[in-house]
Amino acid sequence: AAGVIQSPRHLIKEKRETATLKCYPIPRHDTVYWYQQGPGQDPQFLISFYEKMQSDKGSIPDRFSAQQFSDYHSELNMSSLELGDSALYFCASSLRGTGGDQPQHFGDGTRLSIL
């Protein structure tokens, strides 16, 4: 079965540079979630989209922005990168169900390292 695809798998950037992370949800899934997992920490919610509209926003820095496109893929744009942005970034997708009965399926993540 098709899974959530994230690219790139690994990304190395320097401080003050920009980065773009991409997420391709499972076919027919209409909702995308972004999470950030720092070293030794639990995943923290950043932002989500449903039918190409932002549906919820978490602890996402103003330096970050995201969108969902007409083909339902999503991109997380990160600017003025800081050392603290080094983390594993997960994308998850789901089919919006009644009462939230559809689980979120995670991609393998993008490991971002800031030098």
Partner 1 sequence: AQTVTQSQPEMSVQEAETVTLSCTYDTSENNYYLFWYKQPPSRQMILVIRQEAYKQQNATENRFSVNFQKAAKSFSLKISDSQLGDTAMYFCAYRFGNEKLTFGTGTRLTIIP
Question: In this structure, are residues 91 and 74 in contact, taking their beta carbons and an 8 Å threshold?
Answer: yes
86 or 104, CB closer to partner 1?
104
Residue 93: closest CA among 42, 30, 38, 46:
30
49 near partner 1, judged by CB under 8 A: no
Residue 59 φ then ψ, to 5°: -85, 60
Of 15-23, 60-68, 71-79, 106-114, the window that binds partner 1 (rule: CB under 8 A) is 106-114
**Residue ranges in contact with partner 1 by CB under 8 A:** 31, 33, 35, 41-45, 48, 50, 55-56, 58, 88, 90, 92, 94, 96-97, 99-106, 108-109, 111
